[in-house]
Amino acid sequence: MAVIVVGGMIGLGKSSVATLLGEALRSEVFLESVDDNPILPLFYTASPEEIDRKRYPFLLQLHFLNTRFRAIKKALVHDRNVLDRSIYEDWYFAKVNVQLGRISDQEFAIYESLADNMMEELAELPKKAPDLMVYLKGSFETVMERIGLRGRSFEQDQSLVDYYRLLWAGYDDWVMKHYNASEVLVVDMDRTDIVHRPEDAAWLVKEILERLSRMNVQLV
């Protein structure tokens, strides 16, 4: 069986790529919980004073950690699964919020302890990690353009630009130097548009299937 995680910066098309791969592999797709996430709009729209008082960033990371842990546990015990972002990337988002002062050192210590405990549980499963991360990489201009195009009102505030830029600036470094759960296939999203160009979608599926074949990952 193959388990693929799709990672990358906000707005670059993880859900679209995950859905495309799910259809190609006839597999279940675990999409990131956005529409049913009660904390996410508050995280984006709260004032600095509200964030400090109500600790929305910490609560949001706990929410994501819990939902991503549930998803990857299911994915690792079933055939051919695709995850739209995974528990491995969650740490990076939490760390950026620490840098911004939105999550305290004490909160981050609690978060890391819980995440480590979850990882230990994953290590007990017959399949312990994904086979491949499909990492969507793009310029900051592409990120901002696509965030705008998808039209989620709570993502549009200009005050969020610094947050997006800090996330974007360190993402490549995290993937290349800190992510070690699986092999990585980098996709240049400045040149790839699977939504509007069918040839790009076909190319991406072909690239991923070829990489899995070279890795001797069984798809059936």
Residues acting as catalytic residues: 84
Smallest CA-to-CA distance from 78 within 1, 136, 24, 130 is with 1
First to last CA, the chain: 6
Distance in angstroms (rounded) separating the CA atoms of residues 9 and 145: 12
The DSSP secondary-structure symbol of 81 reads E
Q: What are phi and psi of 4, to 5 degrees?
A: -120, 135
* E strand or H helix that includes residue 136: strand 132-137
Give the SS3 label for residue 184. strand
